Amino acid sequence: MKCRICDHEITPFMSFGKMPIANGFLLPDQYDDEYFFELKPAFCEQCYSFQIDDQPDPELMFHDQYAFFSRTSKFMQHHFSEYAAWVCDNHLSGNDLFVVELGSNDGIMLENFAKRGIRHLGVEPSANVAEEARRHGVDTIVRFFGPETATEIVGKHGQADALLAANVMCHIPDLNGIAEGANRLLKQDGVLVFEDPYLGAMIEKSAYDQIYDEHVFMFSAISVANIFDPHGFELIDLLPQETHGGSMRYVLARKGVRAVSPAVTDIVKAEKAAGLHLPETYQHFRENCEASKARLVRLLQEEKAAGRRVVGYGATSKSTTILNYCGIGPDLIEFISDTTPIKQGKYTPGKHIPVKPYAAFAENYPDTALLFAWNHQKEIMQKEGDFAAQGGKWLTHIGDD
Ligand code: TMP
Ligand code: ZN
C-alpha cells in the first residue's frame, strides 16, 4: 500500500485479523450481512505516520445511527469545557471571533463557545448527533469537512479564527484535504487545534485497542508536523492529555506567524527517545500485542474454569478490536453493560455478545468485570466502590499479571 500522507510504499507490520465495524452494534437478523475487513497497521518510514491499511467506507461508520454520543461521559463534559477555556485563554484574542469544529458530535465542546456568545459552527457528518447538538444551542451543519465545505463556510460566515477538532482528525483518511480546507477556512493568524489518542501512550501501554476502523491514524507530534508542513503550517504548541487512555493536543499555525512553545521541542525529543520514528519499535509492539492476547484469553478461561461470572463494562468501540483479535465471545463474557441507550439490547460487532443496560450489572454483580472502558477508569472506579467492596474483581487487557 501507499502512505496516505506522502505516497511512500509501506507494508503492514502485523494483522489483527478480520474485523467488523467497531461501532456496528447489531441485531441477530443483521448477522448475515455483517461487514468485515482485515485490520492491519503500518508505519511509514518516510513521514513517520502510523496508519491502518484498509478502512471501510466512511458511510459504513458514520451515519444516522452512529452509536457514539460524547455527552454520555460526565468526565468528558468537564474535559471539553476545559479544552474550550484553554483555547480561549491561550490561542484566541480579538472581537467577533468565529470558531469552527469539525466532527462536532453532539456539541459537547462548541456549547462552551456558544455560552460565551462566540460565533461558532459545528460540521458533523452524522445527522442524529448533529440534531442533539442543535438541541443544546450549537449551530451545526451535517457535512464531512474538506476544501468545498470550507469554501461554503467562508462564503456564508467569513474566515475563522480557529478550526477545532477532538478525536476526529485520526478518523480522516484524506488529511491533505483537511489541511487544504484549513488553509481556506482560517484567517492568516488563525489556529488549527486538535487532540487525538496519542501514539506514544499507545506504544507505552501496548494499548492496541486504540487501533480500529475509525482510527485510520495514530499521531505523534513528529508525524503531525510532517503532515501539515507541506500545507504551510507548523506546530506551535502541544499539551499531553489523560483522555482516551493518553491523548495529545496539537496546535498549528501558518509558519512564522505565531511564537512556538518550548513544549514542541521537548515532546519531539521525548518521542525520539521512545523510538516512535523507528520501525523496530513497531515490531516490539506487535510482540507485546501477542503477549497481551495470550494473557487475556488465559485469564478469562481461568475464570470460566472456576465457575465465575464475567461481565464486560463499557461496550466501547475499542472493545471490538480486543474481542475479535482475541476471539472472545459470549462463552467467556456473559454480557457487556453500557449506559448508551442505542447500544442496549443489541449485540457486539463480530463476536455477538449481548449489550445490556447498566442496571443488569448493578443489580446482579458478576464475580469479575472486564473493564473495556479502561480510558474512563478514574470516573468508573469513583462510582463503583461497592462492586470491589463486595469482592468484585476488575480486569483489563492492559497489564502483565
Ligand atoms: P469511549 O471509550 O469510546 O468513550 O466509550 C465509552 C463507552 O462506555 C460508551 O459506550 C459508554 C460506556 N460507559 C459506561 O457504560 N459506563 C461508564 O461509566 C462510562 C464512563 C462509559
Ligand atoms: Zn508517509
| DSSP label at residue 230 | G
The pLDDT, as a whole number, for residue 7 is 96
**Ligand 1 atom at minimum distance from 317 CA:** 3
Give the residue whose CA is nearest to atom 12 of ligand 1.
314
State how far the alpha carbon of 137 is from the alpha carbons of 63, 106, 207, 288, in Å. Answer: 22, 10, 36, 45
41: left (phi over 0), alpha (psi -120 to 50) or beta: beta
Q: What angle do CA 176, 188, 184 make, to 5 degrees?
A: 40
Q: What are phi and psi of 186, to 5 degrees?
A: -85, 145
Regarding the beta carbon of 73 and ligand 1, being less than 6 Å apart is answered: yes
Regarding the beta carbon of 373 and ligand 1, being less than 6 Å apart is answered: yes
Burial (CB count within 10 angstroms: exposed 0-12, middle 13-18, buried 19+), residue 328: buried
pTM listed for this prediction: 0.92
**Ligand 1 atom at minimum distance from 358 CA:** 15
Regarding the beta carbon of 338 and ligand 1, being less than 6 Å apart is answered: yes
Regarding the beta carbon of 340 and ligand 1, being less than 6 Å apart is answered: yes
- Residue from 340, 358, 370 whose mutation best tests the ligand 1 pocket (most atoms within 8 A of CB): 340
Q: How far is the CA of 9 from the centre of ligand 2 (A)?
A: 8
Q: What is the distance between the alpha carbons of residues 135 and 122, in angstroms, rounded to a whole number?
A: 13
> Which amino acid appears at position 329 of this protein?
G
pLDDT one-digit tens code per residue, 218-261: 999 999 999 999 999 999 999 999 988 899 999 999 999 999 99
Contact 110/162 with Cβ under 8 angstroms?
A: no
Regarding the beta carbon of 376 and ligand 1, being less than 6 Å apart is answered: yes
Contact 160/185 with Cβ under 8 angstroms?
A: yes
Give the pLDDT mean for 160-175.
95
**pLDDT surpasses 70 at 330:** yes
**Ligand 1 atom at minimum distance from 379 CA:** 20
Cell of 51: 496508519
Q: What is the distance between the alpha carbons of residues 270 and 6, in angstroms, rounded to a whole number?
A: 24
**pLDDT-derived band of residue 333, with 50, 70 and 90 as boundaries?**
very high
pLDDT one-digit tens code per residue, 255-308: 999 999 999 999 999 999 999 999 999 999 999 999 999 999 999 999 999 999
**Ligand 1 atom at minimum distance from 375 CA:** 2
**CA-based diameter of the chain, in Å?**
66
Contact 260/254 with Cβ under 8 angstroms?
A: no
The pLDDT, as a whole number, for residue 68 is 66
Query: Does domain 70-279 correspond to CATH entry 3.40.50.150?
Result: yes
